[in-house]
Amino acid sequence: DIQLADIHAGLKRGEFIPYFQAQTCFKSQAVLSAEVLVRWQHPKYGLLSPFHFLPLIESHRLMDVLTEQMIFSSARQLAKWQSAGTDIKLSINLSASSFGSDKLTRGLLLACERFGVKPERITLEVTESALAENIAEAMEQLNRFRMHGFALAIDDFGTGYSSLTQLHNYPFTELKIDRSFIAKMEQDPSAMAIVESSLSLAKKLNLKTVAEGIETPKQWSLLKKLDCDLCQGYLIHKPTDAAHFNFWLKQQH
């Protein structure tokens, strides 16, 4: 089992690396962006997913450190894609525990400056439940991100407690439907209703829509018919490291 000292050592040695999962356009099937998902390349246990270490990172208040590393390593990768002529955007997950100080904003801007990346090419993902922790603080932080040009996604939409009617008060540019609804929608009419009404509300509020966890061609055609913008899921691409992502990207169209 993992000890705090391992995490400190891992952070120091740069063992936390970004994996990337493609997001494709339902209409054109072009790869438009990639979500950054952290993995721990552990010297003893091999590749670990966030489930095994994020709770420990949160509870020891190390999320700031991890987030900063992820921002820099993924911005570096984005710059490589840019200079190779690969027109792709990035989505980065943020935890609400990093809100409240301007350290996060400064880190993001510094990374953009250092690697010559425009904030407009980066979408910051925040879960619905993260907002609930401190609404006033979250609102202020989100507005600051927008002011600097970052795009903003509400992640895992439908799983939190924020009301549909509150959505227009936040400066989001994108809505990601939680994969639990996608998984159930063919059998469960209420899951289908949630998917449909989220999509139609998002459209009316001018938000880009992303369906997460698309695993079957049936789900893909359903969401395409519902006019969802972006597709993310194992059917198209499973999260991989940058090298495998590049290899996969070359094989598209």
Q: Point out the residues that are catalytic.
A: 212
Encode 112-144: b = buried (16+ Cβ within 10 Å), e = exposed: beebebebebbbbbbbbebbeeeeeebeebbee
By rule CB under 5 A, what string of x and - marks binding of each residue 47-66 to Na ion? --------------------
What is the token pair recorded at 250?
A: 């070359």
- For 9: left if phi > 0, alpha if psi spans -120 to 50, otherwise beta; the answer is alpha
User: Interface with ligand G includes 70 (CB under 6 A)?
Assistant: yes
Closest CB to ligand G among residues 6, 68: 68
User: Interface with ligand G includes 160 (CB under 6 A)?
Assistant: no
Q: Give which of Na ion, ligand G, Mn ion, none residue 233 binds (C-beta under 5 to 8 Å, depending on kind).
A: ligand G
d(CA 238, CA 249): 12
User: Interface with Mn ion includes 155 (CB under 5 A)?
Assistant: yes
Q: Give which of ligand G, Na ion, Mn ion, none residue 208 binds (C-beta under 5 to 8 Å, depending on kind).
A: none
> Which SS3 state, helix, strand or coil, does residue 22 take?
strand
User: Interface with Na ion includes 125 (CB under 5 A)?
Assistant: yes
In 3-state terms, the chain is what percent helix, strand and coil (to 5)? Answer: 50, 20, 30
Q: Which of 6, 68, 156, 229 binds ligand G (CB under 6 A)?
A: 156
Smallest separation, CB 85 to ligand G (Å): 26
User: Interface with Mn ion includes 174 (CB under 5 A)?
Assistant: no
Closest CB to ligand G among residues 84, 238: 238
Q: Which residue type, as a one-letter code, is found at position 204?
A: K
Instruction: Please choose, out of 6-14, 53-61, 122-130, 163-171, the segment that lies near Na ion by the rule CB under 5 A.
Output: 122-130
Instruction: Please choose, out of 56-64, 138-146, 153-161, 217-225, the segment that lies near Na ion by the rule CB under 5 A.
Output: 153-161
Chain residues 190-229 in contact with ligand G, contact rule CB under 6 A: 212-215
User: Interface with Na ion includes 229 (CB under 5 A)?
Assistant: no
User: C-alpha angle 55/236/189, rounded to 5°?
Assistant: 75
Burial (0-12, 13-18, 19+ Cβ within 10 Å), 43: exposed
Q: Which of 128, 155, 174, 229 binds Na ion (CB under 5 A)?
A: 155
Best CA proximity match to 208, nearest among 181, 227, 229, 226: 229
**Partners of 175 in the β-ladder:** 154, 209
Q: Which parts of this chain interact with Mn ion (CB under 5 A)? A: 155-156
